[in-house]
Structure 1
Amino acid sequence: MTSPSTFGYRTVEMYPDIFNLRHANFVLWSPGSPPPISSPYLVIGTADKSPNVFNQIGRYPFVVSHEKTDLWLLDPKSITPPLRDGVYRYWFEIQDTSPERRGTLLVTDPLAYTVDYAVTQGLNDTVQPASVIRFRDGKLWPCNPDGTLPQKLAVPDLASLPSNNHLVIYELPTSWAKVGDDARGVSVDIGTFADVLALFDTTHRGNRFSTTPAVYNGAILAELGINALQLLPAADARSKGEWGYATANYFAPDYNLGSASDLVQLVDKIHSQNIRLFTDVVMAFGHDPYIYIDFEQFHLRPDMERNNPDSYQSHANGQMRDGYGGSSWRYLQSAKSYDPEEGSKDAWTHPSWAFHRMHLTRWMTDFGVDGLRLDSVNNIGSYDFVRSYKERAWELYNARYGRAADPSKFLVIGEELSMPVSMVQQGVLNALWNEPWQGRLRAALLGEQVKREESFEWNVRKLVDCTLDDHGDTNFTDGAQAVNYITSHDIEGWRKERLYNFLQSNNIWDVERRAKLAFALLLTSVGIPMIFAGEEFADQMDRSVDIGKKQTDPVNYSRKNDGGWRKALFGYVANLVKFRTKCPALGEDDTDFFHVDESRGGKIMAWRRGQTGGTKRPVVVIANFSDEDTPGAEYYIPNWPDRNETGWREVSQGREVPAEWVGREPLLRWEAKMYTRWRG
């Protein structure tokens, strides 16, 4: 059955049944029998733009569906006076079911496609944003806050999108910083989807960053050449000035970032540039309306249910789940209720499973998501749910492309710092953030090893080939299973701050040289490289001074052209990004260390990426992890693969290498050089 309430890829067979119900009714699903809530009301009205005033039309009772007793419905055509065609704001009035129980509350529709905080400004903090809907021809339609209908998303050419083993992911907080007037001279959390678009399109100057020269004078990310954009949670979060991990309205784009139309425009643009979209999803805890509507079915407080297995993290030795100021989702409990996905009126369901799989459908069909990053998978507490979510994502991807679906062009990534690689090998996830890679890299940049019992050489070997790294009872077996990064949005802890600040705190002042070495390793190693926004020009932290807390200042793009060395670093990284996304050898896992210079303490090494022989064109990397240049005019490396073949070039400097100098070129301190005979 076709659902006219969505505007994206129209993956009809995957639409949840409740999506169709919501086209004809206001709907509140509250599973369990008898229903845990009684006599909810719809409060509906219109809003004036200036000033933001809510004009209430009325308050109307819901009716329990006779077929589905945990489903509350209200036909908009039954409202008197009759609704005219137009855009409306509404809330559900309910009796609070959370442990605090504050009485009657107005809450957002948990399935709202659009929310509006403007009409709640100046009200009590407990008032949630209004849900937004358009009434037309007797039906309810998802719309932008101004009432316009979002355009249909174009289906990208799958063949043109990059495969997983050639991804370079760019992790971007969809808000960032520019010069401002606060105590540290920085205004934060003011970016929008339109500003992100300006990073890819020279014809768009953005919205709030239209006066930032680095943004309006160019398309930074198009120039950088990344082929996957990972947005930190783009679903609506109430908090401002932070990273957006306090998801409240899972079906709606973040109110502060822009409308659904703004997001569709961004996705269409990056797809036209053969760039995949990843989005971050937070499902361990939430700040959503079900905390108040139906707490016992959807949420729990672990410290109040210590005998409940759902209160504990997976694979974490009895560690309780952490709601980080929100409420943990309840995943082990089931209920006999209406199934909002399949439409069965009396079925056993996991309410939280169904809720999260439904917003997954929304994001994949309406916003063209090409991959997912699941936050804190151990803290979710249920590997069975994570597997179910991953499998639904793959069902939606396969339905989008049909027989043309390519399994190498979709990915579900998990993040968990305890490194449960077994989740990948057991098929719960496709890939995992490789957090130990960051520690190995930063040790290498200081000429150190990570573990006393492990040599510097083996630290570098495991850095270059993540399949060699031991993670308890299992290892990565494929480069597409591991996401490597120099820095991420999470700076909590020792040696996790931005690279610039890390180097300074260790009294390293040749930032450009060490940063280039870091990127040479990131972009030529086995695994999927991920660049945290701003590291490509060595951005620095202005506001985050406590490494025990998460970063509070997003990337400052005004620094991109700030000084000659930052511009040079950006150009260096852009060159290597393009090399990584195109060179066949760097999409392979085959790696061979063929030179370790023991005469220099093992601090000069050379290795091959990719296979040799026939038409194969491997990549050879040589790196100097010491404070000394190689002596003399040449540095000879024995066992150089295909030494007698012609056509070698050095990639980082973009120059040809004469046949007599293959494997003989000198190396500066803390320098890496990359050679290949491949021609892109």
Structure 2
Amino acid sequence: MKKIIYVLLFFTAFNTACKKASTGDEPISPVTPPINTELPSGAKDGVAFINNGTSAIVTLYAPGKTSISIIGDFNDWSTSASVMKKTSDGNTWWIQIDNLNPNSEYAYQFYVDGKLKVADPYCEKILDPDNDKYISAAVYPNLKAYPTGKTTGIVSIMQANQPLYAWKNNSFTRPDKNNLVIYELLIRDFTTEHTYASTLAKLDYLIGLGINTIELMPVNEFEGNLSWGYNPSFYFAADKYYGTKTALQNFIDECHGKGIAVIMDMVLNHSFGQSPMVQLYFDGSKPTVNSPWFNVDAKHPYNVGYDFNHESAATKKFSKDVIKFWMQQYKVDGFRFDLSKGFTQKTSTDDAGMSAYDASRIAIWKEYNSYIKSIDPNNFYVILEHFADATEEKVLADDGMMLWNNINYNMNEATMGWLGNSNFQWGFYANHGFSKSENLVTYGESHDEERLNFKNITYGNASGSYVIKGNLATSLKREEIAAAFLFAIPGPKMVWQFGELGYDVNIDFNGRTGEKPIRWEYFADPNRKALYDAYAKFIRLKKNNSIFNSTSATYNLAGGVKYIKLIEGSNTVIVVGNFDVVSQPANVDFGSSGTWIDAVGNNISLSSNNYTATLAPGEYHIFSKTALK
């Protein structure tokens, strides 16, 4: 993630978190010195219910603290009534709370060293006095009221008998990596209701498009409500602004029932000031040197928020706990790990400003990948937003991980008709040194990139009557030719939401991470619907014809006339198109004469191996020797 995305968010969240961490509204209570005793059987990080849910063992990992009490609904928020015990190693604090109603929700916090109140890092639900008031009952029914007047800051929720979701689709088979067509989606900006349920209601639209995977931008609790989610604070709690835990589980279950995998965007490079883990070891401006999880200062130049130290045993344990939780509780099919090159303790970059080869970071990622495989070896997707040294990415790919591959700039130059930097051959896995196309997730748009059609309309080239700039119909046809080439490149692909309709609102509208207009009316526009239909055709061709994952590919993507040639057995597919703004001659060796079938136009008959034609600007064809499905 880019630093510019977070600057305002960061300082706002930091100031808010500092206020929440203070307990200046009440006197400091004397606390009885803790008793050293080992954890009882059944205890775990966070809350473990025993005795049929009438008791709870609550633990907090907090090395070096002097005293900790638990405060909450069960003791009228008394800071002295429930003093926690400490294990003999001084690292973990725990207490057993009795006489609970298993069906009731209990709000609670930890009261640390007589001055700090924090929520439970492992809790699955929080109450936020500043932001929950903006969550309607339609989005989150029967939300427990905040204990106003009893405490301050964010509180945790525990409940023995939580509503349980009954999974229906337990035999879902994940699509092969090579055939993934991922739809990256921000729930906040996808429907006006911004809920899992309202997103689910649009599933037929996505099925019609042909995608087989949805990648949700972060849905665990983050600071505020109106966020992209890359400012995380609670890693086990689903963000309430999008709905309930069971609504998210139902979303994933229903997607599985329709043959669609669900990937979760996971942010473990950093955390923000609202995090109790940050607050527990904080000097007022940054983490302290004794934090088990965070570096005092970020160890790499790409960081936002507070930088996790992934060489720390405590951070590794926490990260693995988070990973396992979402894999098992929500049955997600993969993770897209944000800013994965940040999992380093080095500051080195190469001459191009990219992250230089880092053996220690490779070891960290291999360890996490191995752990994920130990939980679920069945084609679970591990996708890294890495953008580091190519030799490092190759090692990670050889270990089975998938790498994000951004061709936005060059592809957008092509769609705008500016040819000097329009070569998007970086989309081919061999140019990365990878041995398999399945390890490279190529995209023309993501949440982080300017929308292709915004730049088409704003900056597009022109010649005579052929005009891209300001011309919606022409700009959309430019999107179409680019999509034909994108889906012809072997390997998994990703589409950013509404890219299939030529979404053309500037990424910085209302601030980069601010809410964007939701334009479902696009679907009724014939030109935009034609782009959707073209996407659907290209996706269908990719999924139904294995030649689009061929290991035999040649191409020329440097000039105005570009082509991709794929060979598999006796069949050949050639995608050829003119990205110039004037007519251009095409001369491509098809490899054989005879009849060639055009998936998007009229068939042709060649008397020789060479295809020669004059292509109008924006004209393209998908030729094959054998009819495509």
TM-score range for the pair, normalised by the shorter chain length: 0.7 to 0.9
For structure 2, list consecutive stretches of 5 or more residues without a partner in the other structure: 1-41, 51-55, 133-143, 346-360, 461-468
Distance 1:443 1:534, change over 3 A: same
Distance 1:244 1:618, change over 3 A: same
Residue from 486, 490, 493 that aligns with 1:522:
486
Is 2:455 the counterpart of 1:502? yes
Distance 1:353 1:479, change over 3 A: same
CA distance in 2, matches of 1:659, 1:17: 74
What's the offset of the Cα at 1:642? 4.5
Is 2:224 the counterpart of 1:239? yes
Other-structure match for 1:389: 368
CA distance in 1, matches of 2:111, 2:410: 52
Other-structure match for 1:29: 60
Residue deviations 1:550-591 (CA, integer Å, cap 9, x gap): 342346242332422111111111111122222201122321
Which amino acid is 1:257 matched to?
Answer: Y
Residue deviations 1:195-236 (CA, integer Å, cap 9, x gap): 221121xxxxxxxxxxxxxxxxxx211111101110001111
Other-structure match for 2:176: 163
Other-structure match for 1:210: none
What's the offset of the Cα at 1:164? 0.6
CA distance in 1, matches of 2:199, 2:430: 34
Which amino acid is 2:279 matched to?
Answer: Y
Other-structure match for 1:621: 575
RMSD: 3.6
Matched pairs, number: 533
Other-structure match for 2:82: 61
Which amino acid is 1:289 matched to?
Answer: P
Asked if structure 1 preserves the Cα contact closer than 8 Å seen for 2:43 and 2:58, the reply is no
What's the offset of the Cα at 1:463? 4.4
Other-structure match for 1:556: 518
1:23 aligned counterpart, secondary structure: strand
Mapping 1:432-451, distance limit 5 Å: 432-435=403-406, 437-448=407-418
Distance 1:66 1:285, change over 3 A: closer
Other-structure match for 2:466: none
Residue from 253, 263, 276 that aligns with 1:278:
263
Asked if structure 1 preserves the Cα contact closer than 8 Å seen for 2:282 and 2:288, the reply is no
2:187 aligned counterpart, secondary structure: coil
Is 2:120 the counterpart of 1:109? yes
Asked if structure 2 preserves the Cα contact closer than 8 Å seen for 1:284 and 1:376, the reply is yes
Asked if structure 1 preserves the Cα contact closer than 8 Å seen for 2:65 and 2:112, the reply is no
Is 2:377 the counterpart of 1:356? no
CA distance in 1, matches of 2:336, 2:44: 26
Asked if structure 2 preserves the Cα contact closer than 8 Å seen for 1:151 and 1:261, the reply is no
Residue deviations 1:117-151 (CA, integer Å, cap 9, x gap): 34677979x944432322xxxxx34x2xxxx2233
Which amino acid is 1:115 matched to?
Answer: I
What's the offset of the Cα at 1:606? 3.0
1:72 aligned counterpart, secondary structure: strand
CA distance in 2, matches of 1:309, 1:128: 24
Residue deviations 1:616-665 (CA, integer Å, cap 9, x gap): x332111112223458xxx7x55313543x6x432235x66678899567
Distance 1:68 1:61, change over 3 A: farther
2:565 aligned counterpart, secondary structure: strand
CA distance in 2, matches of 1:93, 1:31: 11
What's the offset of the Cα at 1:245? 1.0
Other-structure match for 1:193: 196
Residue deviations 1:13-69 (CA, integer Å, cap 9, x gap): xxx97269723334223253xx425122231259xxxxxxxx869974243255775
Is 2:110 the counterpart of 1:93? yes
What's the offset of the Cα at 1:192? 1.1
Residue deviations 1:381-415 (CA, integer Å, cap 9, x gap): 251433322221121112xxxxxx3xxx3321111
CA distance in 2, matches of 1:302, 1:438: 40
What's the offset of the Cα at 1:422? 1.0
Asked if structure 2 preserves the Cα contact closer than 8 Å seen for 1:233 and 1:244, the reply is yes
For structure 1, list consecutive stretches of 5 or more residues without a partner in the other structure: 1-15, 47-54, 97-102, 135-139, 179-186, 201-218, 314-318, 334-349, 399-404, 470-474, 492-496
Residue from 609, 619, 623 that aligns with 1:671:
619
Distance 1:665 1:155, change over 3 A: farther
Distance 1:480 1:127, change over 3 A: farther
Residue from 503, 515, 519 that aligns with 1:539:
503
Asked if structure 1 preserves the Cα contact closer than 8 Å seen for 2:295 and 2:309, the reply is no
Other-structure match for 1:584: 546
Asked if structure 2 preserves the Cα contact closer than 8 Å seen for 1:439 and 1:450, the reply is no
CA distance in 1, matches of 2:534, 2:66: 60
Distance 1:416 1:128, change over 3 A: farther
1:149 aligned counterpart, secondary structure: coil
Distance 1:243 1:303, change over 3 A: farther
Other-structure match for 1:12: none
Distance 1:576 1:37, change over 3 A: farther
Residue deviations 1:340-362 (CA, integer Å, cap 9, x gap): xxxxxxxxxx1111111101111
Which amino acid is 1:85 matched to?
Answer: P
Percent identity, aligned pairs only?
A: 19
> Normalised by the size of structure 1, how large is the TM-score?
0.70
Other-structure match for 2:434: 476
Asked if structure 1 preserves the Cα contact closer than 8 Å seen for 2:563 and 2:576, the reply is yes
Asked if structure 2 preserves the Cα contact closer than 8 Å seen for 1:414 and 1:429, the reply is no
Other-structure match for 1:43: 72
Asked if structure 2 preserves the Cα contact closer than 8 Å seen for 1:386 and 1:428, the reply is no
Distance 1:679 1:447, change over 3 A: closer
What's the offset of the Cα at 1:535? 0.6
Residue deviations 1:502-548 (CA, integer Å, cap 9, x gap): 112213232111111121121111342110001110112268248xx
Which amino acid is 1:651 matched to?
Answer: A
Which amino acid is 1:150 matched to?
Answer: Y
Is 2:101 the counterpart of 1:76? no
CA distance in 1, matches of 2:334, 2:592: 38
Mapping 1:75-474, distance limit 5 Å: 75-77=96-98, 82-95=99-112, 104-117=115-128, 118=132, 127-134=152-159, 140-141=160-161, 143=162, 148-152=163-167, 154-158=169-173, 161-176=174-189, 190-200=193-203, 219-287=204-272, 288-294=275-281, 301=287, 311-313=297-299, 319-320=300-301, 322=303, 324=304, 326-333=305-312, 350-381=313-344, 383=361, 384-398=363-377, 405=378, 409-418=379-388, 420=390, 422-426=392-396, 430-435=401-406, 437-448=407-418, 459-460=423-424, 462-463=425-426, 465-468=428-431
Greater RCO (Cα-Cα under 8 Å, separation 6 or more):
1
Distance 1:19 1:602, change over 3 A: closer
Asked if structure 2 preserves the Cα contact closer than 8 Å seen for 1:310 and 1:331, the reply is no
Which amino acid is 1:76 matched to?
Answer: I
Which amino acid is 1:162 matched to?
Answer: P
Which amino acid is 2:44 matched to?
Answer: I
CA distance in 1, matches of 2:290, 2:156: 32
Asked if structure 2 preserves the Cα contact closer than 8 Å seen for 1:166 and 1:586, the reply is no
Which amino acid is 1:380 matched to?
Answer: F
Distance 1:390 1:441, change over 3 A: same
Asked if structure 1 preserves the Cα contact closer than 8 Å seen for 2:416 and 2:478, the reply is no
Residue deviations 1:292-337 (CA, integer Å, cap 9, x gap): 23559xx9649999xx988454xxxxx4463x3x32223334xxxx
CA distance in 1, matches of 2:83, 2:168: 34
CA distance in 2, matches of 1:300, 1:381: 19
CA distance in 2, matches of 1:528, 1:389: 22
Distance 1:93 1:283, change over 3 A: same
2:531 aligned counterpart, secondary structure: helix
CA distance in 2, matches of 1:628, 1:661: 27
> Normalised by the size of structure 2, how large is the TM-score?
0.75
1:250 aligned counterpart, secondary structure: coil
What's the offset of the Cα at 1:375? 0.7
1:249 aligned counterpart, secondary structure: coil
Asked if structure 2 preserves the Cα contact closer than 8 Å seen for 1:286 and 1:328, the reply is yes
